[in-house]
Amino acid sequence: MTSAAVEILGLGLGILGWVGVIVACGLPMWQVSAFIGGNIVVAQTIWEGLWMSCAVQSTGQMQCKVYDSILALPPEVQAGRALTVIVALLGLVALLVTVVGAQCTNCIRPGKMKSRIVIAGGAVYILCGVLVLIPLCWFANIVISDFYDPSVPSSKKREMGAALYIGWAATALLLFGGCLICCCSCSQRDETSFPVKYSAPRRPTSNGEYDKKNYV
């Protein structure tokens, strides 16, 4: 597989990861009701996300309510909001930077500057993966801690929702795609950094022998 194909593959993975982060950010299923003990048969299921909470009735009817106050939210929700929005914006920046410096585009002339721009785009994708991993692991730690805490009532216990798994998958895509872009650009930069030396052609002298100064 050529370096250009690897670069396109990394860009595609980065875009999929970026879209996955946006989907996970909007889903209200960061934590869901846990059915344990006497809480197996319930009339409704609670979904809680970054922006709203939803109550799903046993009949299939769903009612959602957007959080009223930002300052009254738990710190993990506030941090999750801020970091996912930042990642969504940085993902767009990484996409534009990578496309500008990609080998398949002619926005910039081939050279060291073009490789550096692509490396910067890959680094931004890696940064996005690291940033979005913070709220995901934070939420997962709180959910697991409350689940095994005997002082928390069974009705208040939660389980990890689908949005966390989508976010982790998106994180893996962002990290892997960014690493592919950076590695491909670094290898291309190393290949073009070696100077090319030419030796003068050897010309025979009048007596038919080669002059020693023509040897390199």
Domains of the chain in start order, with CATH, are 1-30+70-188 (1.20.140.150)
User: pLDDT digit string (tens) for 129-147?
Assistant: 999 999 999 999 999 998 8
Measured between alpha carbons, how far is 173 from 175 in angstroms, rounded to an integer?
A: 6
Question: Where on the phi/psi map is residue 111: left (φ > 0), alpha (ψ -120 to 50), or beta?
Answer: left
- Length, in residues, of the chain: 216
On average, the pLDDT of the chain sits at: 82
Average pLDDT on 189-216 reads: 50
Long-range contacts of 53-61, Cβ-Cβ distance < 8 Å, separation of 24 or more: 53/28, 54/28
pLDDT at 7 over 50: yes
pLDDT at 23 over 60: yes
- Prediction pTM value: 0.79
